[in-house]
Amino acid sequence: MATQAEFLSTTRWGKKAGIVAIAASACLMSVVGSHVTAPASTSQSPVLHGVFTVAKWGDDKADKAAKDTKGKNEANLDPGSLYTIESAIGARTVWQRLDSQKRQITGQGVTVALLDSGTAAVPGLESAGKLTYGPDLSIEGNGSLTDQDTFGHGTHMAGIIAARDAATLTAKTISKLDPSVQLGVAPDAGLLSLKLATTDGSTDVSQVIAALDWVTEHQTSQNGSKVRVVNLSFGTDSVQSYQLDPLAAAAENAWRHGLVVVVSGGNDGNGFGRLTNPALDPYVIAVGASDNNHTVAGWAKPTVAAFSNGGTAARHVDLLAPGTSVASLRAPGSNVDVNHPEGLVSGDTTGRLFRGSGTSQAAAVVSGSVALLLQAYPNLTPDQVKALLTSSATPVAASALYAGAGQLNIDAALSAVAKSGSGSAWKGIGGKDARAATQAFATSTGQGSINAARGGNVLLDANGVALDGEVDVQGQPWRSTDWWNAASSLHAWSGGQWLGTTWTGPGWAPAAANGLQSARWSSARWSSARWSDADWSSARWSSARWSSARWSSARWSDHTWG
């Protein structure tokens, strides 16, 4: 049976083999061949794909380590809390610095585009100006679920990147903050959320390409802030050359137009031997996950997480970032939330937190860090950012095939820029000053197969028919030359049309009268009837139970979302 694409291959959602919704939202269990059943409303057991030893929600060992004598979760004891991770990579030290405008370096003025399953405006993400919704390019964008994170993955990433509880952030107060206050790596960065995945985490490569094209052509958000970073915790098993692959070309095109594209490297394990697509493109920042071995002190001498993809001498992850047992924001009522109660952080009296492991989380840590770097030094190019992060990383006792340059150290990266700018002999990639760092790999123009880019992960429609061949998700013929000419010249999108077919509304929706509602791109139904609201009427979401059960043939692979 054909498998379907999803957002999970780089996220680990479960601390033990147990019930999962469907293989795609699923989560990869810690025991190979563990029995997995679907919810009672699903008529068949899911078809599993690959080796399920990488990635999970929840971690009972981390939960235990994080509890005080009364059983309450304490962020300063939690090896996966944002407080602990940010301290380990130097982010909280960076916050105490000032940029050239005398502002704390907390991501101010930088927006991170999050291409994922949507983002829920939960506490920590609900403040005015924090969250902007770009076009919903998911199949659910054709119905009543527009912009809602029905899967739960995107909200978790958003919390890591830029969660912001109410707190005063000054040089004097930052070191005295209660560790339980939820602050992402770049707490004052903005988020531009593009929803690509549905309730079960499904999406097609063409939707991801369309989203990358949209962000590349819309680098100024509605509020005037600049999009500088793209977080893509997603990957497929494509084995065609990155120079031919259209997904890799779309990511590289965004990079060449000034966006720092951060991609998860995959959760297939150290021995897998290659990165997922588009992390395989050597221009983007490919991120692997480091492991603290369930202790706060473990971040001082981290190891490579067992689930993190190993690569080759020609292409491996560029660096590691904390990606194990990460406690971030929960999307109540989402697929992951309902079907993975083991992900709830034990002892968390607020009920806000969910724990997950994967290169997805690691990529989000890097994206937040890039936002800090770009606030401090806004003129850095994507190549310079990559040079700084890799040259300043903390060495890890492992081969570069698995660890890249080592673990992210954003404090060291900023210090390196300061020294370089003041005439220091600090050198970047290849012995060159980071200010002159330029990558010179062969370029991608995406003239290969879009079907090969799927890597065997294809959508099934409501009738069980596979989306297969050289077509996009709407069934339009894929003409690689026409696409590349349009995308590379920033003309792939016109209003709500991508390559001449309607995908979304024509522009930003009118702002709410009170100014507090998140800005949103207008919506419109797709031209294609295949994914109409009528066809997907059984995929209604309830916070009480998951009810998208009519998809007996819609089984999902475990090798796509980071």
Return the active site residues.
116, 153, 360
Longest alpha-carbon distance in the chain: 67
Q: Give the Cα separation of 57 and 209 in Å (integer).
A: 28
How many Cα atoms are found within 13 Å in the side-chain-facing hemisphere of 543?
A: 7
Write down the residue that tokens 């291959």 correspond to.
9
416: helix, strand or coil: helix
Spatial separation of the C-alpha atoms in residues 318 and 362, rounded to whole Å: 12
d(CA 216, CA 160): 23
Using DSSP's 3-state secondary structure scheme, residue 488 falls into: helix
* Cα–Cα nearest to 434, from 372, 384, 390: 384
C-alpha distance across the termini of the chain, in Å: 23
- CA nearest 85: which of 268, 355, 344, 318? 355
Render 63-79 in DSSP notation, one character per residue: HHHTB-TTS-B-TTT-T
Q: Return the residue matching tokens 């994080």.
A: 66
CA 260, distance to chain mean position in Å, is 13
Axis-axis angle for helices 246-256, 480-488 (nearest 10): 10
Which phi and psi angles does 416 have, rounded to 5°? -65, -40
Strand-pairing partners, residue 521, are 508
Does residue 272 contact residue 279 with C-beta atoms inside 8 Å?
no
Distance separating alpha carbons of residues 504 and 142, to the nearest angstrom: 9
Does residue 501 contact residue 213 with C-beta atoms inside 8 Å?
no
How many C-beta atoms lie closer than 10 Å to residue 542's C-beta? 10
| 379: alpha, beta or left? (left if phi > 0; alpha if psi -120 to 50) | alpha
> Distance between CA 373 and CA 365 in Å, rounded?
13
Residue that the structure tokens 């339980």 belong to = 180
CB neighbourhood size of 534 (10 A): 10
Residues 253-281 as b/e (b if ≥16 CB within 10 A, e otherwise) read bbbbeebbbbbbbbbbbbebebbbbbbbb
